[in-house]
DNA sequence: GTCTTTCGTCAGTTGACGCTAACGTTCGTC
DNA sequence: GACGAACGTTAGCGTCAACTGACGAAAGAC
């Protein structure tokens, strides 16, 4: 908490959750897994069969996704059924919405300011 | 394009753009930079001063963000002014929206199916 | 109790990424 | 033309993350 944290978010807790979710989604294979279990609930083995990597790799991906709050796990005997967890995306939605609104507002403001310069009008409206 | 691409998106081009944007946003410092230039247009040097890493590191982050389409660059003499580019987030918005809708729909469907099992009623409504 | 199935976890290796330091480039000034 | 300022780029290094193979744990079948 010094002069280092330049663009800090309003809620640090939400930022941490967003960080995990973002890091989890940054991997293409994890996004593929998420898309797979977004359509239907599937056991780990069946998810692993959909890719040409080992079960181990898929299992680790599932752990990352689950820790990020993006996956819902349900036990069924020896099997573990997974499905996407919509709530896990809420933080990202909020992050993107705020970023979108802020940058759009700034862009509009800059365009207006530049138009004021190029047209060389009186800038009584500004301020 | 074999049995490997399990959860392929509808538009492969959009997927590539989403991948770059997601990888760019996975880094906390890059998100901080993006938040910084979302509020106002800033030269590279001033952005670098906001963090306790070298100009080089910040410059590389700026490159990543720019290549991901998340940043707008404008020359002003020797200076280069940066601001967030809202359009770059559009692909992510679409990705999240679709994922959200699909997983929500699936979750509702599964709940309904399980309710049909537990209540053991006639399932004439299903289908 | 024993065996099989399903799945997670633990070392170990390899590739990717972020950081620093040094150098090159472009622009403005005198 | 020479100099300084503002940035980008490259090479090298350390670290983290993804992958594989081997092992362990939990649940059902016999």
**String of DSSP letters for A75-94:** EETTEEEEEE-GGGGHHHHH
Q: Is the CB of A29 under 7 A from strand D?
A: yes
Are B50 and A93 an interchain contact pair (Cβ–Cβ within 8 Å)? Answer: no
Does the pLDDT value for residue B86 go beyond 60?
A: yes
Pairwise CB contact (< 8 Å): A89 & B83: no
Judged by DSSP in three states, A126 sits in: coil
Q: How far is CA A20 from CA A107, B9, B56, in A?
A: 29, 23, 26
Average pLDDT over residues B81-98: 94
3-state SS, residue A73: strand
* Least CB–CB distance from B39: residue in A3, A84, A106: A106
* Apex B15 CA angle, B12 and B17, nearest 5: 120
**pLDDT of B121:** 46
Pull the structure tokens for residue B43: 């030269």
- Average pLDDT, integer, range B5-18: 64
A34 contacts in B (CB within 8 Å)?
7, 99
In this prediction, what percent of chain B has a pLDDT beyond 70? Answer: 78
Mean pLDDT value of segment B28-41: 94
For chain A, list residues with pLDDT below 70: 1-12, 113-127
- B61 CA, C24 C1': separation in Å? 20
B83, pLDDT greater than 80:
yes
Q: Where residue B80 falls among pLDDT bands split at 50, 70, 90? A: very high
């Amino acid at each position: 908490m010094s002069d280092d944290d330049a663009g800090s978010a309003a809620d640090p807790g939400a930022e941490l959750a967003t960080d995990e979710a973002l890091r989890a989604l940054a991997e293409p294979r994890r996004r593929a897994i998420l898309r797979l279990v977004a359509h239907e609930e599937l056991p780990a083995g069946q998810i692993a069969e959909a890719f040409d990597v080992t079960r181990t790799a898929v299992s680790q991906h599932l752990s990352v996704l689950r820790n990020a709050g993006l996956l819902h796990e349900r036990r069924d005997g020896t099997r573990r059924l997974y499905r996407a967890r919509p709530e896990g995306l809420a933080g990202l939605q909020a992050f993107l919405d705020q970023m979108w609104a802020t940058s759009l507002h700034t862009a509009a403001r800059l365009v207006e300011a530049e138009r004021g310069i190029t047209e060389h009008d009186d800038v009584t409206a500004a301020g």
